[in-house]
Amino acid sequence: MIVTIDGPAGAGKSSISRQVAEQLGFEFLDTGAMYRAVAWAVLRQNRELTDASAVAEVAQRLRIDLSGGKVLVDGEDATAEIRTPEVTQATRYAASNVEVRAHLVELQQQFGREKNLVTEGRDQGTVVFPHAECKIYLTASPEERARRRVADLAARGVPAEFDDILAQQNRRDEEDSSREVGPLRKADDAVELCTDGMTPDEVIQRLIEIVEARK
Ligand code: C5P
């Protein structure tokens, strides 16, 4: 069984999807980490982010290993570094690259073969697994997402202004949904869940109910 969870940045998808997978006893795939890993490697190899064929070449040669809860890129642990603001900014060059997307989509489809899988991203229900048994579109209002992000950063000792975070997030939303390849879009047959006012545990329980109903 394939469960896809798509939605905008900051909807809490990653940690929630991981816990849903764990509770169901399913494998978990964080596809955002794959786009981040490509951007991280381009920066690491001093290649030009704006050179689309260089970015595609880096992606083709890369070994990305997401098993074991870490992000290993060509054997190197990049788990923390792929989440830095620099890599987050650079990731759009990987995400908007047609060849990179084709390559990563294929890897994701291979990963999902003959498995029970919860996969999380932007295009999982629309492009990667159009025949998934259960599709979820997870959202929250822009303000709620920005509030959560500010609280998250504060908990890690990083001060952040709400207005700055909201502006950055709006930019990412716009880039994500206006991309020509693999844009963020709710699949027609996805169940939409807006998580405003819900605790993470409530969201996880609701998602498990949705999956159980489709089994
Ligand atoms: O989900 P996360 O924030 O880690 O994703 C990082 C970036 O990768 C996002 O801004 C998004 O544009 C891109 N992405 C994508 N397709 C996916 C998952 C993520 O284009 N399936």
Q: What is the C-alpha separation between 91 and 35, in angstroms, rounded?
A: 6
Surface-to-core class of residue 67, CB atoms within 10 Å of its CB (0-12 exposed, 13-18 middle, 19+ buried):
exposed
Distance 92 CA to ligand 1 centre (A): 8
- Ligand 1: list residues with CB < 6 Å: 9, 31-32, 35-36, 91, 95, 121-123, 172, 176, 182
Domain at 1-26+116-212, CATH class? alpha beta
CATH number of 31-114: 3.40.50.300
State which of 13, 55, 71, 91 you would mutate to test the pocket of ligand 1, scoring each by most atoms of that ligand within 8 A of its C-beta. 91
Would you give the DSSP letter of residue 81?
Answer: G
105-151 pLDDT, tens digit each: 999 999 999 999 999 999 999 999 999 999 999 999 999 999 998 99
| Per-domain boundaries in the chain | 1-26+116-212, 31-114
**What pLDDT was estimated at residue 213?**
95
34-61 pLDDT, tens digit each: 999 999 999 999 999 999 999 999 999 9
Alpha carbon nearest to ligand 1 atom 1, residue: 32
In ligand 1, the atom with minimum distance to the C-alpha of 104 is 21
Alpha carbon nearest to ligand 1 atom 6, residue: 32
The two domains 1-26+116-212 and 31-114 share their CATH topology (first three levels equal): yes
Sign for the pseudo-dihedral over CA of 128, 189, 2, 34:
positive
pTM score, whole prediction: 0.95
